[in-house]
């Protein structure tokens, strides 16, 4: 597989060279200790009883038979545990903090009554072993008053729909108002009046689960009034502050430990109800408790990407210049609002008149939340499919349409710190041989197997922000870097070591990283939003500079002495916007007899700033692309409309992509250094998935001549469109 770098950055000594992960040996030999590997003497095991109904009021819970089972130590329900899980239901879907906790009216508890989706926790048992805990769960008797349910967001907003919350099914904002999210620029009415042609279309996307390899588990241990949680979290700092806030104890009384974890993709942000349930079980039982989720627990009990319905109206001049874009969108949030429910993508187009109105709606499906570029893959699928369709109807090459209309300033107002989007598109088109692969007449290939080409592009946030790092130097010449990262698969520990070695001017072998423990590590933003390399990496450079100043002043340490450099930077861009750029080009072969789609060529061109570790960076791009292909073609947590039951929970039912499904993916980096972040590094992890879904969908249209407007694009939908 050919890999390329196109660089305009000055080579560095350590950064920028392909480097195996510093913990690779521990991972591949089984020496790495994941949460579920940890054992304590006298540790109890926990299991959760989950609601079998999409919407029901609990009249009574009888736990007497379960408590009578030998070995059962404690049982929690909504009757004896009223802990609020703040991050699980937030006004406006914003970041959980003290102010948001105070104003949130539609609160989510660890145990709720009524229950609002199949899989919501009803009770938790701690017992001497797994078998006893499972037997006790089966013996808990719950008397439910089964209520009506609603699964689709547009249906939920109808006047006669079942109310999931007393205030209705439109989620409340930060002022506790039932209002949609709105954004406007210019005047769309005037824009449409100035347009020569106007196009309208509807697109929809499905609920897609994060499907990380490691199911959730948690171990809680109390020592007096101090709680230690071993949990696979993407951010130890945020998990500690959230847990302390929910339990009403000082943050210094909470220790979060996460040494290794098996992926997250946003599914393990902040704290989770599993953390709080385990903590309360351990407190009540007076013993360490381990809670383990099954794969089905993880699929229906946590969260995934919110499904959407998107209505677009687009106005253009006769030469294909955008004059107005209007979006009316609906996002299915499940029974609680864990994130904003926004639908991204419009801002990647230069257009004077824009209106976006998005309704975050409660339904009786599994809750929606963060998943690798939360609002973007589904939004980019909608808007880039729409624009591809506009280009086709205007008889324009989609690449030329994009070059005419793509963003050049953020929201047509703020300058970018650098701009290489056109370079990404032109380089990708050349490498992919776009003119040879794209069919000016979609569906024109002879025979049942038809080929087509698609493009999608992106500009994705790479903002600066607050983080911390500490570096200690001893007399033996060992540099120990303390950072609050957890490493969810993107190689954060290795990245921090590479940056530290470069900044200190020492060999990588002289650098040791301490991570994943709030009692040992300073604040880090956490592995979410593609921010760790940018923010914590920059803090590492600043800590290295502080340490070098001490060395210059005091000399190298001797004997038992050590030198310590620390930094807590919080830089800003002063009126500019920082973005990573990318363009994806896809060729597919569609068997029109079977409806089968095969990706035959994929080229991904990215400007992610300076590449810290090319080995990991390429893997990140490929992983995001594979997730995008799966979202486009397969993945959907399907519900039975008759009873509200999820039917496809799990890897097999959800049809998660495997190695056998993976096509060759050619990755090209156009490196840049805009003077910000650690040596100019930008975001990679999320941006790799953002354009992939739309690129595949556009390629399918080019192959068969039918626009596929509902995800996933399964065989039956293709055959139906061709019938």
* Matching fold, domains 35-148+217-292 and 304-463+575-722: no
Is the pLDDT assigned to residue 436 strictly greater than 60? yes
Q: In what order do the strands lie in the sheet with 44-50?
A: 72-77, 121-127, 44-50, 289-292, 217-223, 226-230, 254-257
Per-residue model confidence (pLDDT) at position 2: 34
Helices (H) then strands (E): counts for the chain: 19, 25
Rounded CA separation 410/171 (Å): 28
Is the pLDDT assigned to residue 253 strictly greater than 60? yes
118, 644 in Cβ contact below 8 A?
A: yes
Rounded CA separation 718/696 (Å): 13
Per-residue model confidence (pLDDT) at position 96: 79
Give percent of the chain with pLDDT exceeding 90. Answer: 94
Rounded CA separation 51/54 (Å): 8
Q: Name the pLDDT band for 1 (thresholds 50, 70, 90).
A: very low
Helix (H) or strand (E) holding 493: helix 492-504
pLDDT in tens, 462-477: 999 999 999 999 999 9
Which of 42, 7, 4 lies closest to 671 in space, CA to CA? 7
Give percent of the chain with pLDDT exceeding 70. Answer: 99
pLDDT in tens, 325-384: 999 999 999 999 999 999 999 999 999 999 999 999 999 999 999 999 999 999 999 999
Residue 428 CB: number of other CB atoms within 10 A?
24
Strand partners, 586: 454, 602
- CA 448 → CA 445, 596, 599, distances in Å? 8, 11, 16
- CA 176 → CA 172, 341, 594, distances in Å? 5, 16, 50
pLDDT in tens, 542-586: 999 999 999 999 999 999 999 999 999 999 998 999 999 999 999
* For range 465-494, the mean pLDDT: 95
Is the pLDDT assigned to residue 304 strictly greater than 50? yes
For the whole model, what pTM was predicted?
0.97
**Of 93-97, 539-543, 649-653, the least confident:** 93-97
Strand partners, 572: none
Give the DSSP letter string of 429-480.
Answer: HHHHTHHHHS-SSTT--SSSEEEEEEEEEEEEE-------EEEEE-TTS-EE
Q: Is 624 helix (H, G, I), strand (E, B) or coil?
A: helix
* CATH number for the domain running over 304-463+575-722: 3.30.365.10
| Token reading at 287 | 């013993």
**Between 3.40.50.2030, 3.90.1170.50, 3.40.190.290, 3.20.20.70, what CATH number should domain 35-148+217-292 receive?**
3.90.1170.50
| Token reading at 554 | 């005091």
Question: Is the CATH number 3.40.640.10 carried by domain 464-567?
Answer: no
Q: Name the pLDDT band for 411 (thresholds 50, 70, 90).
A: very high
- Which residues are within 8 A (CB) of 257 and not within 5 positions of it... i.e. 6 or more apart? 228, 229, 230, 231, 236, 516, 517, 518
* For range 673-694, the mean pLDDT: 96
Is the pLDDT assigned to residue 5 strictly greater than 80? no
Q: Name the pLDDT band for 97 (thresholds 50, 70, 90).
A: confident
Measured in whole angstroms, the distance separating CA 522 from the mean position of its chain's CA atoms is 24
| Token reading at 403 | 């070059």
Per-residue model confidence (pLDDT) at position 81: 98
Rounded CA separation 188/660 (Å): 47
Residue ranges of the domains in the chain?
35-148+217-292, 304-463+575-722, 464-567
Taking the CA of residue 160 as centre, how many other CA atoms within 13 Å lie in the half-sphere pointing to its CB? 0
Give the DSSP letter string of 225-257.
Answer: TEEEEE---S-HHHHHHHHHHHHTS-GGGEEEE
Strand partners, 197: 316
Is omega for the bond preceding 661 within 30 degrees of 0, making it cis? no
- Length of the chain counted residue by residue: 723
* For range 27-55, the mean pLDDT: 97
Is the pLDDT assigned to residue 259 strictly greater than 80? yes
55, 149 in Cβ contact below 8 A?
A: yes
In the block, tokens 């469109």 appear at 721
Rounded CA separation 602/453 (Å): 10
pLDDT in tens, 384-402: 999 999 999 999 999 999 9
Per-residue model confidence (pLDDT) at position 4: 46
Helix (H) or strand (E) holding 277: helix 273-285
**What single-letter DSSP state applies at residue 286?**
T
pLDDT in tens, 578-610: 999 999 999 999 999 999 999 999 999 999 999
């Amino acid at each position: 597989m050919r890999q390329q770098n196109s660089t305009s950055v000055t080579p560095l000594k350590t950064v920028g060279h392909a480097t195996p992960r510093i913990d690779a040996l521990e991972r591949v030999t089984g020496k790495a200790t994941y949460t579920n590997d940890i054992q304590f003497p006298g540790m109890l095991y926990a299991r959760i009883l989950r609601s079998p109904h999409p919407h029901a009021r609990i009249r009574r819970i009888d736990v007497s038979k379960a408590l009578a089972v030998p070995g059962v130590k404690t049982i929690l329900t909504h009757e004896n545990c009223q802990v609020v899980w703040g991050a699980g239901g937030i006004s406006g879907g914003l970041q959980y903090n003290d102010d948001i906790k105070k104003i949130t009216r539609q609160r989510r508890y660890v145990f709720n009554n009524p229950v609002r989706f199949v899989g919501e926790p009803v009770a938790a048992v701690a017992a001497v072993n797994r078998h006893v805990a499972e037997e006790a769960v089966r013996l808990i008797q719950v008397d439910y008053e089964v209520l009506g349910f609603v699964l689709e967001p547009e249906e939920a907003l109808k006047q006669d729909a079942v109310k999931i919350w007393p205030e209705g099914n439109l989620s409340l904002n930060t002022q506790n108002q039932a209002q949609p999210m709105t954004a406007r620029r210019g005047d769309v009415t005037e824009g449409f009046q100035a347009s020569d042609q106007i196009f309208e279309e509807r697109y929809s996307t499905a609920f897609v689960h994060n499907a990380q390899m490691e199911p959730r588990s948690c171990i809680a241990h109390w020592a007096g009034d101090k709680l230690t949680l071993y949990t696979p979290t993407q951010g130890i700092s945020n998990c500690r502050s959230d847990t302390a806030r929910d339990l009403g104890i000082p943050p210094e009384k909470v220790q979060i430990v996460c040494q290794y974890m098996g992926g997250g993709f946003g599914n393990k942000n902040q704290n989770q109800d599993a953390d709080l349930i385990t903590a309360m079980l351990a407190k009540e039982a007076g013993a360490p408790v381990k809670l383990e989720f099954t794969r089905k627990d993880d699929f229906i009990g946590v969260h995934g990407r919110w499904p959407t319905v998107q209505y677009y109206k687009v106005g253009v001049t006769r030469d294909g210049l955008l004059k107005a874009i209007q979006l009316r969108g609906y996002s299915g949030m499940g029974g609680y609002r864990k994130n904003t429910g926004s639908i991204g993508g419009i801002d990647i187009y230069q257009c004077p008149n824009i209106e976006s109105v998005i309704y975050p709606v409660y339904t009786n499906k599994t809750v929606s939340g963060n998943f690798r570029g939360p609002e973007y893959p589904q939004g980019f699928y909608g808007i880039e499919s729409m624009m591809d369709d506009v280009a086709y109807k205007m008889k324009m090459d989609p690449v030329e349409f994009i070059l005419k209309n793509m963003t050049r300033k953020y929201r047509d107002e703020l300058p970018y710190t650098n701009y290489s989007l056109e370079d990404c598109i032109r380089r990708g088109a050349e490498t992919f041989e776009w003119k040879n692969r794209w069919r000016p007449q979609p569906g024109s290939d002879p025979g049942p197997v038809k080929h087509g080409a698609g493009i999608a592009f992106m500009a994705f946030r790479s903002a600066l922000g607050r983080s911390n790092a500490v570096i200690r130097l001893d007399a033996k010449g060992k540099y120990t870097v303390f950072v609050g990262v957890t490493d969810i698969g993107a190689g954060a520990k290795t990245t921090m070591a590479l940056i530290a070695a470069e900044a200190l001017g020492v060999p990588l072998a002289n650098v040791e990283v301490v991570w994943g423990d709030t009692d040992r590590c300073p604040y880090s933003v956490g592995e979410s939003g593609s921010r760790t390399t940018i923010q914590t990496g920059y803090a590492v450079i600043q800590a290295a500079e502080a340490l070098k100043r001490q060395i210059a002043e005091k000399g190298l340490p001797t004997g038992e002495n050590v030198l310590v450099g620390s930094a807590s930077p919080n830089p800003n861009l002063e009126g500019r916007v920082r973005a990573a750029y990318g363009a994806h080009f896809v060729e597919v072969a569609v068997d029109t007899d079977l409806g089968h789609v095969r990706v035959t060529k994929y080229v991904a061109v990215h400007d992610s700033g300076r590449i810290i570790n090319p080995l990991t960076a390429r893997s990140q791009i490929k992983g995001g692309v594979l997730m995008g292909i799966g979202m486009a073609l397969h993945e959907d947590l399907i519900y039975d409309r008759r009873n509200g039951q999820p039917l496809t929970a799990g890897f097999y039912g959800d049809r998660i992509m495997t190695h056998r499904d993976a096509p060759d993916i050619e990755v090209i980096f156009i490196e840049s250094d805009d003077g910000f972040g650690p040596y100019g590094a930008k975001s990679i992890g999320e941006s790799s998935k953002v354009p992939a879904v739309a690129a595949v969908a556009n390629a399918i249209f080019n192959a068969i001549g039918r626009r596929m407007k509902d995800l996933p694009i399964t065989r039956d939908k293709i055959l139906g469109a061709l019938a």
